[in-house]
Amino acid sequence: MAFLLSGRGAAASHTRTLTRAGPCRYVAVARVVQPHKWTGTRSAPSAVCASAQDAEAPTTSSGASSSAFTDEQQRLLWDSVSRALLRLGKSGATEAHGRSLCELLRAHKLVKVQINGPADAAAAVAASLSADSGGVLLQTKGGTLLFAEGDAEAAALLQVANESAGKTAVWREKRMEQREKRQQLLATTTAKREANASRSRRRIGKMISNVSSGGKGKMSREGLLGEWQQLAAGIAAEEAGEAAAAAAQGGPAPKQPWKRAAAQKQQQQQQQQQPPRSPRQQ
């Protein structure tokens, strides 16, 4: 009587046969069913990164290494990658991380990896990722590692870095231009608002003085209401003009401008619906 067992880690390389030798006694016999060597708990290499994870013998990369670049070139390579595309937790690097890094290196040639675990484990993590992905570790700064594709030559990596640096410079220049335009628009809008607020304060102060003073300067209720509506309409028109000017210059769109028009229309409808008052009520 025999049982065929297979483990999760060793399924790709070994199987075990249990042969019954007596009452409740079994003898385990292991036999190899595949020609390649079993490398611990890792499964068989993926189809994408099979060349990087060959279990027979470690391959030597023919690509560039960190010693092939000068200090200035190393700074260029580091600055050309703006952010880390792969982040590792405290558990360290796994085979899935190696496959992901292999795919990223195929697409970008230069990839930064951020390690969120202890700093003393960076060397072990870098070695594991290099073995699993076939990449070459170029630089290490704190918990950030810079990898290059293993088969890429030094000239090709420098070309990629120069192109990335040029794109980054253009993006920063455009961003500075947009920031300057926003600052100019904000300064113009602020000056207009201050001028409009000053005129509005003068008109409101005049209305208050006319209402509070007795004699000839006293205003009726209808006169006060008309002045207030005229002032509100003027302010709304000025704000609408500022919003239109900002939109024409590429500035931010006004927040819900329909609310002012709706409130003004509702106020006019309420005034039209109110019956005229007699002189005694006034």
pLDDT tens-digit readout, 26-54 = 344 444 434 444 344 444 444 445 544 44
Structural domain contains residue 108? yes
Residue 135: pLDDT above 50? yes
Distance separating alpha carbons of residues 172 and 177, to the nearest angstrom: 9
Query: Percent helix, strand and coil across the chain, each rounded to 5?
Result: 50, 15, 35
Residue 217: pLDDT above 80? no
Structural domain contains residue 52? no
In this structure, are 183 and 257 located in the same domain? yes
Burial of residue 80 (CB within 10 Å: 0-12, 13-18, 19+) is: buried
In this structure, are 178 and 261 located in the same domain? yes
Of the candidates 91, 146, 157, the one whose C-alpha atom is nearest the C-alpha of residue 114 is 146
* 26 membership: H or E segment, kind and range: strand 25-32
In this structure, are 181 and 256 located in the same domain? yes
When pLDDT is averaged across residues 95-116 and rounded to a whole number, the result is: 90
Residue 192: pLDDT above 80? no
Q: In this predicted structure, what is the pLDDT of residue 247?
A: 73
Structural domain contains residue 230? yes
Asked whether the CA dihedral 165, 166, 167, 172 is positive or negative, the reply is positive
What would the two tokens of residue 116 be? Answer: 């969120």
When pLDDT is averaged across residues 54-74 and rounded to a whole number, the result is: 62
When pLDDT is averaged across residues 163-187 and rounded to a whole number, the result is: 87
CB-based contacts of 162, cutoff 8 Å, min separation 6: 76, 80
Structural domain contains residue 57? no
For residue 105, give the CATH number of its domain: 3.30.110.60
pLDDT category at 214 given cuts 50, 70, 90 is low
Give the total number of structural domains in the chain.
Answer: 3
Q: In this predicted structure, what is the pLDDT of residue 147?
A: 92
Structural domain contains residue 53? no
Residue 263: pLDDT above 50? yes
When pLDDT is averaged across residues 203-209 and rounded to a whole number, the result is: 69
In this structure, are 178 and 252 located in the same domain? yes
**Average per-residue pLDDT for the chain:** 71
DSSP string, 109-158: SEEEEEE-S-GGGHHHHHHHHHHHH--EEEEEETTEEEEE-TT--HHHHH
Are the beta carbons of 157 and 148 closer than 8 angstroms? Answer: yes
SS3 27: strand
Burial of residue 175 (CB within 10 Å: 0-12, 13-18, 19+) is: exposed
Domain span at residue 10? 2-32
Structural domain contains residue 9? yes
In this structure, are 256 and 188 located in the same domain? yes
